[in-house]
Amino acid sequence: MEEKDETMQENQESQEEPKDELTLLREQNMRLAEELAAAKDSELRSLAEMENVRKRLTKEYDDKLKYANLNLISALFPVMDNFETALNHIAGDNPLEALKDGVDLTMKQMRETLEKYGLKEIELNIGDEFNPLYHEALMVDCDDSYDNNKVLMVLQKGYTLHGRVVRPSKVKVNKK
């Protein structure tokens, strides 16, 4: 009988060992599955970060290309200003009408060329609200016929290049 008890006890021990081993294997399997999930998550995050860096670098490169002509365009502002001054000083009844037409056409062509490259004139009229993002106040005056912070005179036109102000409009502003 003692032999039977020992045999049963050995059988029970041998049966318990596989259960413990099976449990260990399951735990190890779950741990490995968690590590695999963490590794996949890390890989996805790394890929997403690389994609974000690529997009940022592409945008920076595109911006460099878009604004590459900024110096050229800035250098042409005085030319445009001189054409406008010449046009303002030539009277309509003047025998120099042909000169006026030529300067007019040249100015028009220059504007069209610069607009093709993204330059736009800042729209501004007398009596418009002064906006420091687009206008630079060079003079201040007090005129009762206009409200406070209204533009009284445009001294020099302003321009944007692809939506960015490259030269603000220089104005005279009403202050009460």
- The pLDDT tens digits for 55-102 are 999 999 999 988 888 888 888 888 888 788 777 777 666 657 767 777
The pTM assigned to this predicted structure is 0.58
pLDDT-above-90 percentage for the chain = 54
Question: Residue 39 has which token pair?
Answer: 């590794």
CA nearest 87: which of 70, 106, 62? 106
Would you say residue 167 has pLDDT above 80? yes
Residues 138 and 155: beta-carbon distance below 8 Å: yes
pLDDT of residue 106: 83
Give how far Cα 43 sits from Cα of 29, 39, 174, Å: 21, 6, 61
For residues 26-52, give the mean pLDDT.
95
pLDDT of residue 35: 95
Residue 6: partners with Cβ closer than 8 Å, 6 or more residues away: none
- Name which of 31-35, 115-119, 136-140, 145-149 the model is least confident about: 115-119
DSSP state of 142: -
Residues 156 and 139: beta-carbon distance below 8 Å: no
DSSP state of 129: B
Would you say residue 20 has pLDDT above 90? no
Mean predicted lDDT score pLDDT of the chain: 86
Q: What angle in degrees, to the nearest 10, is found between the helix axes of 97-116 and 70-89?
A: 160
Residue 153: partners with Cβ closer than 8 Å, 6 or more residues away: 126, 139, 171, 172
For residues 121-131, give the mean pLDDT.
96
